Chains A and B, each alone.
Chain A
Amino acid sequence: MTAIQPQPFTDDSDSVDADTTPTNAVKGHSRIPWRFLGGRALFYLFTLWAAITINFFLPRMMKGDAVTQYLARNRNVTPEAAEALRSLLGLDTDKTLLQQYVEYLGLLLRGDLGVSLLHGLRPVTEVISQSLPWTLGLVGFATLISFAIGTIGGAIVGWRRGSKLDALIPITTFLSTIPYFWLGLLAIALFSVNLGWFPIGKAYGVGISPELSFEFIGQVIHHGTLPALTIVIASLGGWMLGMRNMMLTVLDEDYVMVAQAKGMPNNRVLWRYAARNAVLPQIQSFALSIGFIVGGTIVMEVVFSYPGLGKLLLDATNAKDYALMQGVFLVITLSVLLANVLADIAYAFLDPRTRQTED
C-alpha cells in the first residue's frame, strides 16, 4: 500500500471545510453595484454613438431632398435663395461626407438640430419641445398605469390560479389583439360621437391657450382620457399575461413553500416572496418594449389628432423635412436608451445576483 503521507500542504485540516468558504466575497461588499453599472454605461455610450451616426446617414441615403420639395411648393424662390437654403440645412454638396459628419456632431453637441422647413424655418429643438411633453405625458403616463395594473393584476391572478380570476387573462389578451387604430376609432365612435362623454381629438379645446389654470388642466385631462384609456386597454393584456406566467413558475419555488411553512400571512408570501421575484423578468421586458411604445404612439396621435411627437414625425416624413425627422428620431432613440438605463438600474437594485459580473 502506498499511502501518500501528508503532503507539503498544511491546509488539510481546516480548509477542507469548503462549507466555511464563502462562494463570493462578502468582504469589501458594496451595496451599490458600481462595476455592473459602469459596464452598462459603456454599452449605452456606444449605442448612443451608433444611433447618432445612423441618424446622420439615413436621410442622406434617401432620394430627393427637402429643398427640391420646398421649391415645388413655393415657386417664387430664386436659385440663390435655394442655394442658401441648402447651405442652411447642411445639404450643400461641396463638402465631403466626413466634413458634414463632423459639422453635424459639433452642432449636435451645442444642441443645434437645425431648422424645420415645415414649420417656417423655426429651430427643430423648439418645434420638438412643443410636442414632446404631450407624448411623454400621455403615453408615458398611460404606459406606467398599464404596466402597474397589469403587473399587480397578473400577480393576483397567478396567486389565485384556478379561480374565476383566470378569466381576466383571455379577456385582456383579446383586447390587446385588436388593431390599435380600430380600437381608437371604435372608442371615438362610442364615447365621443354617440355618448358625447369625451371630445373627439386634440390635446385641449379650441379657444384656450396653454397656461397653468384649472380650466386648462381640466381640458387636458378631459381630452387625454380616451387616448390614454385605449393605450392601457391595448397593452394591459401583455403585462398581465407575462406576470401571471412568471408567478406560476415562482410559486413552485421552494422559498415560497418555506414562506408558507414559516406561517407568513398570504399577503406577505404573495408580495414579498412570490411577486418580488416574478417581477424581475417583467422589468426587462418593460425596457425592451419602450421602443415599440414610442413607435405605437404615431397611430394613436393620428387617430386622436394628438399634437405629439408621432404626428410631428408623420408630417415631417411626408414633407421630407429631414432636419425635423432627424430630431424626432434622436429624441426617440434617447428616450429608449434612457428607459433602458433606468430599467437596468432598477434591475440591479432589485436583483442582488446581477451585481456580480465576475461570474
Chain B
Amino acid sequence: MSLLEFDAVTKIYSVRGAGQIKALDDVSFTLKSGHTTGLVGQSGSGKSTIAKILTQLETPTTGEVRLGGKPIPRRGKGLRSYRQQLRMVFQDPFASLNPYHSIGYHIQRPLQLDNVVPKEQLDDEVRRLLGRVHLEPNTVIDRRPHELSGGQRQRVAIARALASRPQFLVADEPVSMLDVSIRLGVLNLLADLQREEGLGVLYITHDLATARHFSDEIIVLNQGRVVERGAADDVILRPQNPYTQRLRAASPDPDRHFGSATGILGGTQ
C-alpha cells in the first residue's frame, strides 16, 4: 500500500501591509491508497493551500510532503513522476479544459507525455478511459468542451486525471459548480473509480453532507489548523469540537428539522 504523507506542514504568507499570515499551522495527515479522506473547511480555512502544496505549486514553510517515505523532489524527473502519481480534479470543469482542443486530445495528451501506453494503443486507451467515466467514446471523442454538459465535462476531467494511472487523486470541490441532480452521479463515479482502481482520494469540500457519505475519514480545518479528525460518521454525527458542532448546526438538515427520517427517502436501499 502506498502512502502520501503530509507531515507537520506550516505555510506562512507575507502580505504587504498586513504582516504575516499563517495559512496552515502544523497540519498533518496521510493519504492511503484505497482510502478517501474528506477535508472540510470554509473559505480561508487553508483547504486550497493544502491542494497547492500537494501539487507542488507552493512549498511548505516548515514540514514536508513524502510519497512512499521519500520527500518530493523540487524539480526534474522526480517531480514529474510525483505529479504522475498525484492528479487533480478542479471545481470548474469548463475552466480546466482548453476550449480549442477536442475531448480526445485532452485525454491523449497526458498519455503521450507520460508514455503510459505504446503509440499504437493510444486510441484504444483514450476510448477505454472515456468508458471508465461512462461517456460513450464515439459521441464525445471529437467534440469540444463547450459541446458537452457540465457533468460530462467533469467526467472528461476525471478521465484525464486517471490517464497517467495515478495512485492519488485530489478532488477540489469537484461537484459544487454542477447542477444538483447530476452531482450525485459524478460523486458516485468518483467513489466507484476510487474503489476499483484502489485510489487514495483527498476530497476537499465545504459541504458536510457529501463529505460524510463520500469519505472514510474526515479532517476539519479551521483557520489553518486541524480542529477535529476521525471516521466520517463520528465527526459529522457526533462532533466533539465546538467549531465542527457549529458547522453541523448551520448545515441544512431536513431530517433533524422534520423530526426523524421518514418519507420515501427514509432508509431506502
Contacts and interface: CB of A to CB of B under 8 A. Distances in A.
Interface string B202-213: 000000000000
A13 B44 CA distance: 16
B240 A5 contact: yes
B16 A3 contact: no
A43 interface: no
Contact of B229 (A2, A7, A13): A2
A17 B241 CA distance: 16
Q: How many of chain B's residues touch chain A, expressed as a range?
A: 20 to 34
A358 B241 contact: no
A9 interface: yes
B76 to A, nearest CB: 36
Contact of B222 (A1, A3, A16, A358): A16
Contacts of A4: 226-229, 241
Contact of A1 (B18, B223, B234): B234
A16 B243 contact: yes
B231 interface: yes
> B interface, by DSSP: helix, strand, loop or mixed?
mixed
Contacts of A2: 229-230
B228 A3 contact: yes
A341 to B, nearest CB: 25
A6 interface: yes
A12 interface: yes
A358 B230 contact: no
Interface in A6-50: 6-7, 9, 11-13, 15-16, 18
Contacts of A13: 242
Contact of A7 (B43, B227, B239, B240): B227
B17 interface: yes
B256 interface: no
Contacts of B230: 1-3
Interface in B1-40: 16-18
A7 B224 CA distance: 12
Interface residues of A, number: 15
Given A16-B223, A358-B18, A3 B240 contact: yes
Given A7-B225, A358-B16, A12 B243 contact: yes
Interface in B192-238: 222-223, 225-231, 234-235, 238
B25 to A, nearest CB: 9
Contacts of A7: 225, 227
A13 B223 CA distance: 12
B44 A18 contact: yes
A67 to B, nearest CB: 55
B75 interface: no
B98 interface: no
A12 B247 CA distance: 12
Contacts of B240: 1, 3, 5
Interface string B227-269: 1111100110011111100100000000000000000000000
Nearest to A21: B44
Contacts of B222: 12, 16
Contacts of B235: 1, 3
Contact of A6 (B229, B238, B241, B246): B241
21 contacts: A1-B231, A1-B235, A1-B240, A2-B230, A3-B229, A3-B235, A3-B239, A4-B226, A4-B228, A5-B240, A5-B241, A7-B227, A9-B225, A11-B223, A12-B227, A12-B242, A16-B42, A16-B222, A16-B243, A16-B246, A18-B43
Which 5 A-B pairs have CB atoms at the shortest separation, nearest pair first?
A3-B240, A358-B17, A1-B230, A1-B234, A3-B228
Interface of B: 16-18, 42-44, 222-223, 225-231, 234-235, 238-243, 246
Interface of A: 1-7, 9, 11-13, 15-16, 18, 358
Given A1-B238, A16-B222, A16-B246, 17 more contacts: A1-B240, A2-B229, A3-B228, A3-B229, A3-B239, A3-B240, A4-B228, A4-B229, A4-B241, A5-B240, A6-B242, A12-B243, A15-B223, A16-B223, A16-B243, A18-B43, A18-B44
